[in-house]
Amino acid sequence: MKIVTFGELMLRLTPPAFRRFNQTGRFEAGFGGSEANVAVSLANYGLASEFVTCLPANRIADAAVADLRRYGVGTDFVVRKEGRIGLYYMEEAVAMRSSQVVYDRGNSSFDALQPGDIDWNAVFADAGWFHWSGISAAVSAGTAAVCAEAIAAARRRGLVVSCDINYRRNLWKYGKTAREVLPPLLAECDIVFGTELEYLQALGVPMPAFKACDTAYEMPMEGYAKAAGEVARLLPKCHTIVFALRNVLNAQHHLLGGTLWHRGKMYAARIYDIEGVVDCVGVGDAYNSGIIYGMVHGMEMPRALALGAAACALKNTVPGDYAQFPIEEIMAAADGATNGRIAR
């Protein structure tokens, strides 16, 4: 099955060695973006993935596309328009200091997308799954309309449609809120991913806080089941609801968990205690990719959730937006190979 993802591909600029923006004389460059991150992970797992976006016709954009291609991601439907590639600056967290993200993506080529710019019938001709995120709907009224257009086209062709809510407070600047824009789009999805804050911001659904300080934490499953039931009531077409859970003790010490509701049944992932976090950008995308892989292959829901949690945990160990793991490593981690020993 081919999975199509849609979103903005950006240039990421990061000061090295945990420097602050005002301290650095140089930036490390890379590419990323939530939906591209999912496409890369799925390609790493051996699935056919296609990333759809809009970029300018210049050599930086060419380099971004080439970067995706080297991971095996299809780019046949990348649209070119006047404008620029979006940027984001990432000041990395350390100890008690939080990371800082500064977006510079106004007037990008993606920002200018309008319905009709992408031939979705051609994009979906041989696809079986479409994945998008709330980031794309947050960029501009035009990109939100393109999301609606893509979802409608995917449903007409019978594709599975999944969405990561991906609420980004700093992006909703065009006069609409996430609570106004996202519910009708999410209502057309089969699978929704998100965090505690994201379900609250997009749908007004609260849930218990994830307060794990070690792996013995007892999950408040009744509270998560109640929240999932409310989401399912609001989104009756949605058969699978994922809550990605994280408790940040400090910048390098995170506890990860998660739950998955599927057609009335609730499942919980094991809790990962991660000390020495390298980069937590893209961890939610890795979570999504593991679950998508499991569902594409018809795995039982607990196994799909386990792969998502393992992929999420492993992503914390590598820098950059993209996860860098074949499915065999994800499966090994899900099966308990998490001691960090040399493999030889």
Instruction: Tell me: pLDDT of 342 over 70.
Output: no
Q: Is residue 340 part of a domain?
A: no
**Does some domain include residue 339?**
no
User: Do the beta carbons of residue 285 and residue 34 sit within 8 Å?
Assistant: yes
Q: How many CB atoms neighbour CB 145 within 10 A?
A: 16
SS3 content of the chain, % helix, strand, coil (to 5): 35, 25, 40
In a domain, 343, yes or no: no
User: Residue 174 above 60 pLDDT?
Assistant: yes
Cα separation, 241 vs 194, whole angstroms: 8
Q: In the prediction, which pLDDT does 86 show? A: 96
The kind and range of the H/E element at 224 are helix 221-234
In a domain, 85, yes or no: yes
| pLDDT in the model for residue 260 | 98
100 or 245, higher pLDDT: 245
Query: What residues does 48 pair with on adjacent strands?
Result: 2
> CA-based angle 195:315:258, to the nearest 5?
30
In this structure, of 64-78, 258-272, 329-343, the range with the lowest mean pLDDT score is 329-343
For residue 338, what pLDDT is reported? 76
Q: Specify the length of the chain in residues.
A: 344
Give CA–CA dist 168/202, Å, rounded: 11
> 3-class DSSP state for residue 116?
coil
Model's pTM, two decimal places? 0.96
Range of the domain at 193: 2-334
The CA distance from 116 to 98, in Å, is 40
Averaged pLDDT, 153-181: 96
Question: Are 325 and 311 spatial neighbours (Cβ–Cβ below 8 Å)?
Answer: yes
Whole-number mean pLDDT of the chain? 96
Q: Which of 25, 115, 37, 120 is nearest to 77 (CA)?
A: 120
In angstroms, the CA 268 to CA 215 distance is 13
Looking at 99-113, 179-193, 293-307, which range is the least confident one?
99-113
Measured distance CA(344)–CA(331) in Å, rounded: 18
Question: Tens digits of per-residue pLDDT, 287-330?
Answer: 999 999 999 999 999 999 999 999 999 999 999 999 999 999 99
- Residue 344 in this model has a pLDDT that exceeds 70: no
Q: d(Cα 144, Cα 142) in Å, to the nearest integer?
A: 5
Residue 342 counted as domain residue: no
**What are 194-245's pLDDT values in tens digits?**
999 999 999 999 999 999 999 999 999 999 999 999 999 999 999 999 999 9
Query: For the chain, what percent of residues have pLDDT higher than 70?
Result: 99
Categorise residue 109: left if φ over 0, alpha if ψ from -120 to 50, beta otherwise. alpha
Contact 49, 126 (CB under 8 A): no
Q: Give the CATH number, domain containing residue 294.
A: 3.40.1190.20
The answer to whether 113 and 136 are in contact (CB under 8 A) is no
Which residues make Cβ contacts (< 8 Å) with residue 96, sequence separation at least 6? Answer: 250, 251
Q: How many domains does the chain have?
A: 1
Cβ(149)–Cβ(121) below 8 Å: no
Asked, for residue 305, whether it belongs to a domain, the answer is yes
Cβ contacts of 218 within 8 Å, gap of 6 or more: none
Say if residue 343's pLDDT is above 70. Answer: no
Instruction: Identify the pLDDT of residue 76.
Output: 98
| From 21-30, 41-50, 305-314, the region with the lowest mean pLDDT | 21-30
Whether 136 is in a domain gets the answer: yes
Question: Is there a domain that residue 206 lies in?
Answer: yes
